[in-house]
Amino acid sequence: MSARPLARAAGPVVALVLCAFAGPEVKTKFDATADFVDMHSYSWAVTSPPAGAVATTWKQVRDAIDRDLQARGYTQAQPGDFAIGFTIGRRQQTKTWDLGQSYGGWGGPGPVDWSGGSPDVIDYTEGTLAIDVFDAKTRRPLWHGALSQRISAVPDQAEIDAAVKTVLDKFPPPPPAK
């Protein structure tokens, strides 16, 4: 087997491996007129889990946000310079893919086996975390950050902490260029 067909066959596998190690993409939006530099304290926009939420998970997320903000120097106050809220969700996903035909031999003696590919199917849970920042006085939305990623069926504290950190690493947005 020449190197060229082997390289073509390895390409999709390498792409799949790279995708598996890529981190979740955080999507953000913010009010470009907001002055985030003078914000040093926060309060909670909502203090109890919404109807239908898993209360223990909701509290774990809230506590993770508290820890992350406090580790970065923000203090909780009533009222704060900004109010913070979040939403969480999860849904079952199914992904299918087909790498096409595969070569079953590897250059040794024996039969050569070209076989048609069969689709691979994987079921998993996708979790979504969205964090919102509002002006505490006017209630005007100032910043929104969200990510969706594969999670375990019941996410543990480490998964929650990592998701919160990943989103809040984008807050506050960089100051406008002068």
CATH number at 32 reads 3.30.160.670
Q: What angle do CA 142, 42, 31 make, to 5 degrees?
A: 10
Q: Has residue 139 been placed in a domain?
A: yes
Q: Has residue 178 been placed in a domain?
A: no
Angstrom CA distances, 162 to 36, 65, 88, 169, stand at: 23, 11, 14, 10
Quick count: other Cβ atoms within 10 Å of Cβ 34?
18
How does pLDDT run across 54-89, given as a tens digit for each residue?
899 999 999 999 999 999 999 999 999 999 999 988
User: Do the Cβ atoms of 134 and 45 come closer than 8 Å?
Assistant: yes
User: Do the Cβ atoms of 144 and 45 come closer than 8 Å?
Assistant: no
For residue 159, which of 84, 81, 71, 90 has the smallest C-alpha distance? 90
Tally of domains in the chain: 1
Q: What is the DSSP letter of 74?
A: -
Confidence of residue 177 (pLDDT cuts 50, 70, 90): confident
Q: Has residue 42 been placed in a domain?
A: yes
pTM: 0.70
Q: Has residue 159 been placed in a domain?
A: yes
Q: Has residue 18 been placed in a domain?
A: no
Q: Has residue 16 been placed in a domain?
A: no
Q: Has residue 148 been placed in a domain?
A: yes
How does pLDDT run across 10-53, given as a tens digit for each residue?
333 333 333 344 567 899 999 999 999 999 999 999 999 988 88
CA 78 – CA 76 distance, rounded (Å): 7
Q: Has residue 3 been placed in a domain?
A: no
**Model pLDDT, residue 45:** 95
Calculate the average pLDDT of the chain: 79
If you count them, how many residues does the chain have?
178
The residue range of the domain holding 36 is 24-168
